[in-house]
Amino acid sequence: MDNQSVHFTLNGKEISVSVEPFEMLADTLRDRLNLTGTKKGCGQGECGACTVIMDGAAVNSCMVPSAKAEGSCVVTIEGLGENGKIHPIQQAFVDAGAVQCGFCTPGMILSTKALLDEKPNPTKEEIRTALAGNICRCTGYVKIEEAVELAAAAIRLNNESKAAEGRHGG
């Protein structure tokens, strides 16, 4: 079978990439687009290392055929920061000491982003549920959960500041 061209928005930019018929999105991101922040762990959708956000939902990119990305909006860890600054979620993971070897971190952060986009003030149970598909072999999950809570608070504060600036003509 011949390669096919897939068009989608990747980290805010429209792209077109040639993929093999049964190529998985994780492979396309890593091997064709050099976005190596997306890690390949188990290759079976069990570990969450390959998590990306696709059309607002956290997905295991090792289980998504690249052709399914057609017309979608995909965000990888490389697409989170703005203006040369890391995203508040990334900063929270650093501040909370939730990063050890770093292999699982991009997937954890993207699962966190999908959660916080949907629920800006999640409960501990909602955090645990959102991260249930992400495995970390280095830490207990306490610091990771703390990082999610810290990120949620930072994002809420940032949004409140932006709203206040808007009200005051800032």
Q: Taking CA 29 as the corner, what is the angle to CA 10 and CA 95, rounded to the nearest 5 degrees?
A: 80
Kindly tell me if the per-residue pLDDT of 138 is higher than 70.
yes
Annotated domain spans of the chain? 4-79, 88-167
CATH number belonging to domain 88-167: 1.10.150.120
Kindly tell me if the per-residue pLDDT of 168 is higher than 90.
no
pLDDT value, residue 46: 94
3-state helix, strand, coil in the chain (%, to 5): 40, 15, 40
Kindly tell me if the per-residue pLDDT of 49 is higher than 80.
yes
Distance CA 38, CA 106 (A): 7
Q: Please state, for a pLDDT cut of 70, what percent of the chain lies above it.
A: 98
pTM, 2 dp: 0.92
Class of domain 4-79: alpha beta
